[in-house]
Structures are given as C-alpha cells and as structure tokens.
A and B are shown apart, each in its own frame.
Chain A
Amino acid sequence: MANSGIIIFGELGAGRLSSITLELLGAGRKLADALGQELAAIFLGHPVDPVVREAIAFGADKVYTIDNPALQEYLTEPSVAALEAACRQLSPEVLLLGQTAVGRDMAPRLAFRLGTGLAMDCVHLEVQADSRLLVATRPVYGGNALAEMTCPSARPQMATVRAKSQEALPRDDSRTGEVIPLSVSLPSSRSRLVERVRQEAAGVKLEDAEIIIAGGRGIGSAEGFQTLEELARLLSGAVGTTRAAVDANWRPSSDQIGLTGKIVAPTLYVAIAISGASQHLAGCSGSKNIVAINKDPDANIFKAAQYGVVGDYRKVLPAFLNKVKELLETS
C-alpha cells in the first residue's frame, strides 16, 4: 500500500494543546496542502483529554487517539509501541513530532523501529517540487551550519520540529473532522517511573515571557543575578541563563536557553555577560530585539544583537536599572 497523509504527534500542557502542537499543525497543514493529502493529529494518554478535538480547529482533518493505561505517564517503551502500531495501521507519508522532552526521546527509537530516516530539531519543512520529497532543514554544528535533508525511500519521512520555528494557524471552529480512537495492544515496559518533580516558575514562565533578562558566566556568581532578577521583576519578564551558569550551579537548568535548553522568542532579550556561543544563540536568535552588555567588544553576541553596550555589567547594569525605574515611574 502506498503511504499517504501527514501525521503530527500532539502533546498537551495544562489541559490545552501545547504551543508546539499548534505549530506542528500549522506546518503539517502546509505540507498536506502541498502534497494534496490529509493532515491528522495523534494523541496518546489515559484517558485522552477531549480537548484534543481542538486540533481540527487548528488545521487537522482527523484526530486519532490511543487510550491505554500504560500511556498515563510518559514512558518510552509503551509510547513508542503505540505510535509504531499507529504508523503500521495508517501508513503515513510524513510523521512530525515536536523537539520536546518527549519528542526527542521517542522519535529516534520510533524511526529505528520503523526502519526509516529522521531529521531532528528542524526549523524549516518543505515539499520539493519535482520529487515530492519532504526537505527538512536543521541546524548542525551548534547552529554554525544548516543542513537540508531528505529521506528518499523509507517511510514515513520523519522529523522533529524546533519550538517557535513554525507558524500556528488561527483557530477556526467552522472546520470539521472526526476523532477516531485506535485500539492497539502494548508490551509491558522495562522501565518504571519512580518519581517526577516539577518546579513551578515563580513569576512569568521563560517560554512565555515577552522580556527576558539573561546572564552568563561573566556574571561571576549566583548573587550577581540579583540585579537581573530585580530588572526582570520590574519589567514583568523572566530571567534566563547560559549553560555555563547552570554548570556553575548559579542557576537551575530549567533557566537554560539554547540548543539543549529552552527556545525563546521574546520581544526583548537582554544578554548580559554572555559571549553568544552558537549553541546559546540557537535558543534566542528568534528574539525580536537582542540587547547585549559585554565587556569584550569582539564578543559574538554583538553579531546577533540590535543594541549593545561595551562595558563591565557591574557598572552598566545598575545604571540601566535605575534609568528604567525612573522611566517607568514618570510614564
């Protein structure tokens, strides 16, 4: 049987379709239209939240669900087995997942199980005109290069997609489509969840913040981040950081921005004492405005920034903070 259709793997967060899922639906819709095929979303869980139907309003033609007690908490083996079974039943042409904690864990195992090729962490997806193949573009070498990949013969063509790289469609409740439960049998898992600890962000969540104040190794200590915290509070923003500051135990890893951290795209990103390594820029280069404060005029961050001050942040930042206070008070 020839493969047909685009399937996106959907994820929920706080009882809603997560933003990456909406982005996948937007990207998937474009591919489906280019190929003249259907777009479906698939959700796993126990029970599967009825909110998954909303995928139709955001671009899907169909929604598949797999409800199984083994899928209540994410574990690699049952989830991979569930998606494997779905792919064997539905024979999609393209399967997209988010480059999320779950997507990056599940996608490689699933691709190997299906004997197909996979491009991870893609930022651009397109159907090649003559071959009708999916061309997936992914940053490599920490973002110092871009690679365009295809999967010529094996199916489905698989990719995981970087957060905030794709446009979601506006919600359209007039769209119609079916929700179809799939029944699959799942193997028992050789791993078990012992505990899961989630840290609640105190203020604005990093991924949602419109203003991010980020500090790097040059901040010099955990205490050094206090001024950054104060500035973030003042502007209703969030504090972000680099891997160097996480490795030094100045900040929790949940604050890390970059290739192996969070992907953010705020209106304003203030990078303080951050050199601008490509792996860090991978997480913030989608920001609308980057402001850099760095004592090294040759720091790479100035190549990504729109505004910069060359100087010691210990002197520049307090003066900046005071002026911001003054401006906010007088306006």
Chain B
Amino acid sequence: MNSIVCVKQVPDPEAPPASFRIDSATNRMVPAAGVKPVLSPFDEYAIEAALRLKDAQGGKISILSLGKNLALDVVKKSLSMGADELYLLQDDAFEGGDSYSTAYALSLAIKKLGKFDLIFCGRQAADWDAGQVGSGIAELLGIPSITVASKVEAADGKARVERVLPDGREVVEVDLPALVTVSNELGEPRYPTLKGIMAAGKKPVTVWKASDLGADPAQLGRAGAKTNLLKLYAPVRETHCEIVEGETPEEAGAKMALRLRQAKLL
C-alpha cells in the first residue's frame, strides 16, 4: 500500500487572535513574532491515516509539501512520525497561487512520483481554510475523492472510508487509486518518538522546482490562479462585555441569572 500525503506549513492556527496582523499594503497576514510555523493540523491527521495503513500492511509513504520558506524541522515532522520520504516543491514560480494553481503543481508532482494507491490530504488547511486542494488534485488526476474521513481501511484494490456527517457517519467504498481528505475524528496523530526523530535524519528530502515537474508556467502560481484577492482585512468585533461580579463565585452565578432575567433572556 503506497500512499502520498500532502502537507502544508501554516502559522500556528491556535495562536491568540491578537497575534494575527494584516499588512493591508500587500494583502498578507503577518503573524506576530513568536507565532511558530506548524504542519496544518488536519494534515497531521492525514499522515496518521497513512501510517495506520502502513502499520497494518506495509508500504511506503511519500510526503509532498509546496511552499516558500518551509522550515525543515516542521515539514520533517512527517518523517519523524514514520513517513518514508519528503518532497518539497519550492520555486518562486509557485508563489501567489490559489487553490487551483497549488493543486495543479501538486498533481504534477504526484504524476512524477508514479504509482500510488491512496493520496491523503487534510480536510482544509488552517491558514486559508479553503478545503479545495484535495478534491482539486483528485479532479486533475481523474481519480475519485472521498472527503472528511474519520477512518480508512484498504484491501483488494478498494478502500472503505468512514465519513463524518453533521448528524452521523457514513461508510463509502471506493476503487483505488483514490484521494481521501481527513478530519480530526480519525483520532489523535502519533507523536514522533526519539527513535523516529533519529531515523528521520537519514530519510531522503528532495526539492523540486517548476522545471522538474514540466509545468505549464501559465497554470502556476499567480499566473494560474482562477481567483483574485481584492482585499484582506481584520473583522470588526465591537462587543462590550458586562462582567457580573459577586462576593463569591456562587453569588456571581446567581446574579448572572437575575441579570439575564432582567434582560428578558430567560
């Protein structure tokens, strides 16, 4: 069972909201100093899904990441967790892209990698929250896609994928090769062990440029984007919070009930 996992590096999405600042001149998010880059959280679940399949039946896991200024210790976490090889798509030609041009570049890299059974992506990246690239790659490769998975099993050229629904679950069987996007209901991704971290040091890391992929420049980065960002700005949140106090927490709780009654909310 050979898998490919696409992972994106993002600024820590759990950093306090105050640490997200927008540079309106360039329409970019500039995270405050101290906000660490991390693997987009759902992508760690995608790696975990691939690792569980590998634990059960062996095979190889290749990791693909496209981005500028990728921090090696961040993207190599995938190798420390147990993946086998890492491919970094780094080239100015990839810059300024949208979901379309990103999926295009990743799909070319996947074709270059050759044979695979399953591709895993996160359900959405925690920076732009688009939720498009996974399905987009599948469409460009002409393979089926199953989104928002909480469990993945594979055998005999088919995968059984459990999906999360707003009010339950469903199980879908899909012919391989296929692409699956993974959600946190899969269960906690494993932490890298010390042994894993040592082993990762010896695993291959390959950098690919646009020319290595034989890409059509008109479909890459800014040139290939279908959408245009007009403006990026901070939401206005103008609430004033009335703090209800009391001598004791119990008193404060009771007073809150009275206050809400007074406001006709109870």
List the interface of chain A (C-beta within 8 A of B).
Answer: 75-77, 100-101, 104-105, 108-109, 111-113, 115-121, 135, 138-152, 154, 189-201, 235, 243, 246-247, 253-254, 259-260, 262, 267-268, 277-279, 285, 289-293, 300, 302-312, 315-324, 327-328
Cβ A199 vs Cβ B135 within 8 A: no
Chain A residues near B194 (CB, 8 Å)? none
Q: Select which of B20, B99, B166 is within 8 A of A101 by beta carbon.
A: B166
Given contacts A235-B266, A268-B265, are A315 and B131 in contact (CB under 8 A)?
no
| Cα–Cα distance between A135 and B229 once the two chains are bound (Å) | 10
Distance in Å: Cβ of B131 to nearest Cβ of chain A? 5
Instruction: Name the one of A200, A247, A309 contacting B184, with C-beta atoms under 8 angstroms.
Output: A247
Q: Provide the bound-state CA to CA distance between A279 and B134, in Å.
A: 21
Main SS class of interface, B: mixed
Nearest Cβ on chain B to A149's Cβ, whole angstroms: 5
Other-chain residue from B99, B127, B146, B257 in contact with A324 (beta carbon distance below 8 A):
B257
| Contacting pair A108 B131 (CB below 8 A) | yes
Q: How far is the CA of A111 from the CA of B170 in the complex (A)?
A: 25
Specify which of A142, A247, A277, A290 lies most central, judged by the most chain B CB atoms within 10 Å of its CB. Answer: A142
Residues from chain A with a CB closer than 8 A to the CB of B55 are none
Instruction: Give the interface segment out of B66-74, B88-96, B137-145.
Output: B137-145
The reply to whether B172 and A191 form a contact with Cβ atoms under 8 Å apart is yes
Could you list 13 A-B pairs, sorted by A, with CB under 8 Å?
A111-B136, A117-B225, A119-B227, A121-B131, A141-B11, A190-B144, A193-B171, A259-B129, A260-B123, A268-B265, A303-B241, A308-B242, A327-B261
User: In the complex, are the beta carbons of B239 and A305 less than 8 A apart?
Assistant: yes
Q: Which residues of B contact A147 (CB under 8 A)?
A: 128, 229, 231-232
Contact flags B216-234 to A (C-beta < 8 A → 1, else 0): 0000000001111111111
The chain B residue with its CB closest to the CB of A307 is B242
The B125-180 residues at the A interface (CB cut-off 8 A) are: 126-132, 134-136, 138-140, 144-148, 160, 164-175, 178
Q: Which residues of A contact B171 (CB under 8 A)?
A: 193-196
Chain B residue contacts of A150, Cβ below 8 A: 227-228, 230
Select which of B168, B250, B252 is within 8 A of A196 by beta carbon: B168
Report how far A300 CA is from B237 CA in the complex, Å.
12
Give A325's nearest chain B residue, CB to CB.
B257
CB distance from A72 to the nearest CB of B (A): 14
Name the interface size band of chain B. Answer: 35 or more
Q: Does the CB pair B129–A76 fall under 8 Å?
A: no
Q: B33 at interface (Cβ–Cβ under 8 A)?
A: no
Contact: B235 with A316, CB < 8 Å?
no
With A76-B146, A148-B230 known to touch, is A309 a contact of B139 (CB < 8 Å)?
A: no
B255 smallest CB distance to A (angstroms): 8
Sorted from nearest, which 4 A-B pairs have the closest CB atoms?
Answer: A117-B226, A319-B253, A323-B257, A311-B249
Assess the B232–A308 pair: CB atoms within 8 A: no
Dominant SS among interface residues on chain A: mixed
A190–B174 CB distance below 8 A: yes
- Which residues does chain B contribute within 8 Å of A148, judged by CB atoms? 229-232
- Asked if A307 and B229 make an inter-chain contact with CB atoms under 8 angstroms apart, the answer reads no
A-side contacts of B85, CB under 8 Å? none
Residues of B within 8 A of A118 (CB): 99, 132, 226-227
CA of A197 to CA of B134 in the docked complex: distance in angstroms? 25
- Nearest neighbor of A100 in chain B, beta-carbon distance: B166
Contact between chains at A149 and B229 (CB < 8 Å) = yes
Of the candidates A146, A191, A312, A319, the one whose C-beta lies within 8 Å of that of B144 is A191
Assess whether A142 is in contact with B253, with CB atoms less than 8 Å apart.
no
Cα distance A174–B234 in the bound complex, in angstroms: 42
Which B residue sits closest to A259, measured CB to CB?
A: B129
Say whether B129 contacts A140, CB under 8 Å: yes
- The CA-CA distance from A214 to B129 in the complex, in Å, is 24
- Out of B129, B164, B248, name the residue touching A141 (CB < 8 Å): B129
Min distance, Cβ A307 to any Cβ of chain B, angstroms: 5
Distance of A300 from chain B, by nearest CB (Å): 6
